[in-house]
């Protein structure tokens, strides 16, 4: 499955890119699985996800928890806690 | 019920937005507006500017979802939410929330609800620009608590 992965704010800075298309292995089923798997792809990912509890996720532009299934989503985004308003 | 949600990089005119909300309405009894401004300091240290990054597409959708929830919870006649992105200098407006209702209770509550949710759930991130570099603003747990109390209130109802 190919998923568009987007990064924002300091997660984007640490990963070193704003977005990428990722071929997700079949055994990566949930948002939490994906975070674990991405963390193994290099130092920049390990740094971005070093404290996975801090990094938030949105699946197809809806907030989700780590246990959410990736299902047939097209896009996932990772970002720090929001500071708008 | 007229609602307007706008994301933009350019400044807005809060007075003109307020006037637009009640123009030609005889049923409006209360207009509550909130304008968030860029402060000239962050934690007591002077800043040059704030830069707001956002998630295009999701930011609009998330605000629209909360406007819809506000409409479902309070008898509103009009809502406007404007949120800026990009570089903003001290004194400039960042965010505007305006709510119109027949009576003040609904207008106050809906405006506060929308602001609390914008702070905690809308995908925007502030970066502070100082003379010696830039840093990301850390989320305040008080903002999460402010948003969460609207959940509790629902549960108690």
Per DSSP, the residues of B22-91 read HTT-SS--EEEEEEEE--SEETTEE-SEEEEEE-TTHHHHHHHHHHHHHHHHS-EEEEEEEEE-EEE-TT
Residues of chain B contacting A7 with CB distance shorter than 8 Å: none
Q: What is the pLDDT of residue B1?
A: 78
Q: Give φ, ψ of A71 to 5 degrees.
A: 50, -130
Place of tokens 């929330």: B97
Q: Does the distance separating the beta carbons of B36 and A85 come in below 8 Å?
A: yes
C-alpha distance from residue A15 to each of A68, B57, B74, B110, B121 (Å): 22, 22, 42, 38, 23
φ, ψ dihedrals at B93, nearest 5°: -75, 145
CATH of domain A2-79: 3.10.20.30
Split chain B (157 residues) into runs of 10 and give each run's mean pLDDT: 94 97 94 97 92 97 96 97 98 98 97 95 96 91 80 54
Q: What is the pTM of this model?
A: 0.92
Does the beta-carbon distance from B118 to A85 stay under 8 Å?
Answer: yes
Question: Would you state the pLDDT for residue B152?
Answer: 62
In chain A, the residue whose alpha carbon lies closest to the alpha carbon of B137 is: A83
**Residues B115, A85: C-beta atoms closer than 8 Å:** yes
Tokens for B140, please give them. Answer: 């305040």
**Separation of alpha carbons A26 and B4, rounded Å:** 42
Per-residue pLDDT of chain A (85 residues; tens, 9 = 90+): 899 999 999 999 999 999 999 999 999 999 999 999 999 999 999 999 999 889 999 999 999 999 999 999 999 999 999 999 8
Task: Tell whether B127 lies on the interface with A, counting CB pairs under 8 A.
Answer: yes
Give the model's pLDDT for residue B149. 82
Question: Taking CB atoms and an 8 Å limit, are B124 and A79 in contact across chains?
Answer: no
DSSP one-letter code for B151? H
């Amino acid at each position: 499955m190919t998923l568009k992965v987007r990064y924002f704010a300091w997660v984007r800075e640490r990963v070193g890119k704003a977005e990428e298309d990722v071929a997700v292995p079949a055994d990566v089923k949930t948002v939490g699985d994906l975070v674990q798997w991405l963390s193994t792809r290099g130092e920049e990912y390990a740094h971005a996800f070093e404290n996975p509890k801090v990094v938030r996720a949105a699946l197809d532009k809806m907030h989700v928890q780590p246990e959410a299934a990736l299902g047939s989503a097209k896009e996932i985004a990772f970002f720090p806690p929001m500071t708008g308003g | 019920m007229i609602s307007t949600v706008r994301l933009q990089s350019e400044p807005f005119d809060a007075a003109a937005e307020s006037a637009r909300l009640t123009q030609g309405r005889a049923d409006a009894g209360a207009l509550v507006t909130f304008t968030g401004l860029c402060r000239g300091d962050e934690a007591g240290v002077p800043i040059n500017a704030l830069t707001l990054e956002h998630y295009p597409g999701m930011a609009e959708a998330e605000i629209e979802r909360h406007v819809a929830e506000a409409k479902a919870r309070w008898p509103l006649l009009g809502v406007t939410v404007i949120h800026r992105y990009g570089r903003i200098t001290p004194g400039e407006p960042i965010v505007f929330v305006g709510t119109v209702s027949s009576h003040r209770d609904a207008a106050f509550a809906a405006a506060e609800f929308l602001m609390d949710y914008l702070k905690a759930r809308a995908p925007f991130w502030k970066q502070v620009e100082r003379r010696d570099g830039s840093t990301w603003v850390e989320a305040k747990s008080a903002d999460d608590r402010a948003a969460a109390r609207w959940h509790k209130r629902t549960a108690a109802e």
